[in-house]
């Protein structure tokens, strides 16, 4: 799996139903929304994307769209371990509406999602195999129940020399993540499309460069990353061997 998301949606009802009705998003309206959700930030328009590709923008970039009944913001900064700690002003912007947060990262098999109704958090879940259940607030939503009941157990391929211990969670977070994305937002990133899925690649998003003037300097962050990269060893490559095991191969 290679799915990654950092997604907020504000809606006046069920998100999938509303997204099926949208047309091209108005740029001035979307810019006004960005000013509300990024108060005091430097915001510059950039090339846009489609919802299907834009749910995980590069760092410092946001993809967004605003319609009268539903608004979308894709940004890595909403990928937080504790969804209940989403900044208050972002939650306050959902007054009278539904707010959905969906975030997952395939490299660490991490998933987080949350739902607010009129500013009240009704469900939040965050978990990964390394950290376990990070946050679990509210009752499981209907699409979650087969996973907690043990009906969607994880099918894991172990690395060479790795102990074949039981998976530390009753299901794979990314499996539930795709289910949550479909149930809450109307589409999925990976797997076979379903007949009722919305066409996420048919929904255009405007692009923006966003920078917190009080945040770290981008040049300093880039230099720090360069130094870390220099200390890393050469990459290792694996392929599937007999019986589904992973075998290291020559990376050349």
3-state secondary structure 56-109: CCCCCEEEEEECCCEEEEECHHHCCCCHHHCCHHHHHCCCCCEEEEEEEECCCC
Residue 228 lies in a domain: no
Domain interval for residue 133:
4-218
Mean model confidence pLDDT for the chain: 89
Residue 234 lies in a domain: no
Residue 102 lies in a domain: yes
pTM above 0.75, yes or no: yes
Tell me the mean pLDDT in the region 28-44.
Answer: 97
The pLDDT, as a whole number, for residue 221 is 61
Centre a 10 Å sphere on the Cβ of residue 213 and count the other Cβ atoms it contains.
Answer: 7
- What φ, ψ does residue 27 adopt, rounded to 5°? -65, -50
Say yes or no to pLDDT of 243 above 60.
Answer: yes
Q: CA 121, CA 82: separation in Å to the nearest integer?
A: 12
Record the tokens describing residue 192, joined without a space.
């076979």
Residue 60 lies in a domain: yes
Record the tokens describing residue 139, joined without a space.
């009752």
Say yes or no to pLDDT of 251 above 80.
Answer: no
The pLDDT, as a whole number, for residue 1 is 45
Confidence class of residue 40 from pLDDT cuts 50, 70 and 90? very high
> Over the stretch 102-160, which tens digit does the pLDDT of each residue have?
999 999 999 999 999 999 999 999 999 999 999 999 999 999 999 999 887 766 544 45
Residue 37 lies in a domain: yes
Contact 76, 7 (CB under 8 A): no
Tell me the mean pLDDT in the region 81-91.
Answer: 98
Percentage of the chain beyond pLDDT 70 is 83
Residue 85 lies in a domain: yes
Residues whose CB is less than 8 angstroms from the CB of residue 58 and which lie 6 or more positions away in sequence, other chains included: 76
Residue 238 lies in a domain: no
Q: How many domains would you assign to the chain?
A: 1
What are the angstrom distances between the C-alpha of 93 and each of 4, 56, 147?
25, 22, 32
The pLDDT, as a whole number, for residue 235 is 72
The pLDDT, as a whole number, for residue 150 is 85
Residue 231 lies in a domain: no
């Amino acid at each position: 799996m290679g799915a990654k998301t950092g997604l907020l949606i504000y809606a006046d009802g069920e998100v999938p139903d509303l997204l099926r009705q949208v047309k091209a998003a108005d740029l001035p309206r979307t810019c006004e929304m960005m000013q509300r959700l990024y108060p005091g930030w430097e915001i510059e328009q950039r090339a846009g994307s489609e919802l299907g590709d834009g749910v995980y923008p590069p760092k410092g970039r946001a993809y967004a769209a605003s319609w009268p009944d539903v608004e979308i913001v894709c940004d890595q900064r909403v990928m937080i371990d504790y969804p209940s700690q989403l900044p208050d002003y972002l939650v306050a912007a959902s007054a009278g509406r539904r707010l959905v947060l969906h975030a997952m990262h395939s490299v660490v098999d991490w998933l987080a999602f949350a739902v607010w109704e009129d500013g009240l958090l009704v469900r939040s879940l965050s978990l990964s195999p390394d950290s376990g259940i990070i946050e679990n607030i509210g009752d499981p939503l209907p699409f979650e129940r087969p996973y907690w009941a043990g009906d969607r157990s994880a099918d894991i391929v172990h690395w060479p020399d790795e102990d074949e211990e039981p998976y530390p969670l009753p299901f794979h977070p990314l499996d539930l993540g795709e289910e949550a994305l479909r149930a809450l937002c109307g589409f999925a990133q990976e797997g076979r499309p379903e007949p009722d899925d919305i066409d996420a690649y048919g929904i255009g998003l405007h692009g923006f460069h966003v920078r917190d003037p009080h945040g770290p300097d981008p040049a300093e962050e880039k230099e720090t990353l360069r130094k870390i990269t220099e200390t890393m060893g050469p990459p290792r490559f694996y392929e599937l061997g007999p019986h589904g095991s992973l075998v290291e191969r020559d990376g050349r």
